[in-house]
């Protein structure tokens, strides 16, 4: 039996559902999800393996008009993948009209020879007529695309058709990852991202892009009741006033977010977890190269 494998870059403007789609296709959460635009800051790999194929999905930051050095860097990360993968998944939002951001991405994709599958996501929010309108406009405005697949990343409806399109375009290749591996994210990064996700959900519009979370220490400890993975996480904000927002009254917001992140991390890793969280002010970190380098961004 010929084994096929390859890499798929999932691109689109912010908040079109890229992370939700990757999680759905992989069958497990590998990328954090938020209704805040530009949540994904680094490239996250999700792996889907069957007896015949292995597809490595690259969940990229949403391509947007940058206002900070962080935005410029996240854009660059997304764009460098286009010519290096086997297939591009270009996501549109079925509940919104095609906009300048979508056309800008289409122009970038047209500059590389990589085959592109147009994915019209969130069909559960827009009716069939709206979805067909997206497809009709896309076929005439967005260039020479290999296939069109309407689906809902949230419900999973239509994802089988997308998998079929992608598998058909995978070249012969090896197992890049062992069976059972669904992500290459280290535990330290996963923990930091999960805490950031929970904080984004609780702070809403107050300071989503001003939050960065890093794991400063990680240690496996043996206790009487079994092994525990202990992590020390630092939440960085840009202003003193933002520190109070993240901590919350009586430290309730940070405590609740930490508990939610710990419980989800335990479920994903299958081990007991202890999280120690701290908040630190790192002024204007999004605009300073030294801070971004230190944070791995």
- pLDDT score of 6: 94
- pLDDT tens by residue, 125-180: 755 555 566 666 666 678 788 888 989 999 999 999 999 999 999 999 999 888 88
The most confident of the ranges 22-26, 30-34, 205-209 is 22-26
Average pLDDT, the chain: 81
Comparing CA positions, the residue from 32, 142, 33 lying closest to residue 91 is 142
Element containing residue 117 per DSSP (H, E): strand 116-121
Average pLDDT over residues 5-18: 88
Query: Could you tell me the two tokens for 150?
Result: 């309407």
Go through the domains of the chain in sequence order and give each one's CATH number.
4-167 (3.40.50.300), 187-294 (3.30.300.20)
If pLDDT is split at 50, 70 and 90, which confidence band does 296 have? low
Q: 90-121: per-residue pLDDT in tens?
A: 998 888 888 888 888 888 888 888 999 999 99
pTM to 2 decimal places: 0.66
Mean predicted confidence (pLDDT) in 201-210: 70
Task: Tell me what pLDDT residue 172 has.
Answer: 95
DSSP letter, residue 270: S
pLDDT, tens digit, 9 for 90 and up, residues 51-80? 999 999 987 766 656 667 766 776 676 677
The pLDDT of residue 55 is 95
DSSP 8-state code for residue 123: T
Please tell me the predicted confidence (pLDDT) of residue 34: 46
The C-alpha angle 55, 56, 62, rounded to 5 degrees, equals 125
Q: What is the pLDDT of residue 136?
A: 62
Whole-angstrom distance, CA of residue 225 vs CA of residue 204: 37
Q: Residue 188 pLDDT more than 70? A: yes
Sheet containing 116-121, strands listed edge to edge, beginning at the edge strand earlier in sequence: 44-49, 53-59, 4-11, 87-93, 116-121, 147-150
Q: What is the pLDDT of residue 111?
A: 83
Q: What tokens were used for 214?
A: 């890093």
Structure confidence at residue 281 (pLDDT): 87
- Whether residue 45 is predicted with pLDDT greater than 70 in this model: the reply is yes
**pLDDT above 70: percentage of residues in the chain:** 79
Residue 139 makes CB contacts below 8 A (sequence gap 6+) with 145, 148
Cα(295)–Cα(235) distance, rounded to whole angstroms?
11
């Amino acid at each position: 039996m010929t084994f096929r494998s390859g890499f798929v870059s999932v691109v689109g403007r912010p908040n079109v559902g890229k992370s939700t789609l990757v999680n759905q296709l992989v069958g497990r959460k590998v990328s954090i999800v938020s209704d805040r635009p530009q949540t994904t800051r680094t490239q996250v790999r999700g792996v889907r393996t069957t007896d015949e194929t292995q597809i490595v999905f690259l969940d990229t930051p949403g391509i947007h008009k940058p206002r900070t050095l962080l935005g410029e860097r996240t854009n660059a990360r997304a764009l460098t993948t286009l010519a290096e993968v086997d297939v591009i998944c270009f996501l549109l939002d079925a509940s919104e009209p095609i906009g300048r951001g979508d056309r800008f991405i289409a122009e970038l994709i047209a500059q590389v020879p990589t085959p592109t599958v147009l994915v019209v996501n969130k069909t559960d929010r827009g009716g069939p007529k709206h979805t067909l309108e997206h497809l009709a406009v896309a076929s005439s405005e967005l260039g020479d695309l290999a296939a069109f697949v309407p689906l809902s990343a949230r419900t999973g409806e239509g994802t089988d058709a997308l998998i079929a399109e992608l598998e058909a375009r995978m070249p012969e290749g090896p197992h890049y990852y062992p069976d059972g591996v669904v992500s290459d994210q280290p535990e330290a990064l996963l923990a930091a991202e999960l805490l950031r996700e929970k904080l984004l959900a609780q702070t809403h519009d107050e300071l989503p892009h001003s939050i960065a979370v890093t794991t400063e220490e990680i240690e496996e400890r043996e206790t009487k009741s079994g092994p525990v993975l202990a992590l020390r996480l630092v939440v960085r904000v840009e202003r003193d006033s933002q520190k109070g927002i993240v901590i919350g009254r009586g430290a309730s917001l940070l405590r609740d977010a930490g508990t939610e992140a710990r419980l989800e991390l335990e479920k994903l890793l299958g081990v007991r977890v202890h999280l120690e969280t701290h908040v630190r002010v790192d002024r204007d970190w999004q605009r300073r190269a030294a801070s971004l380098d230190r944070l791995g961004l």
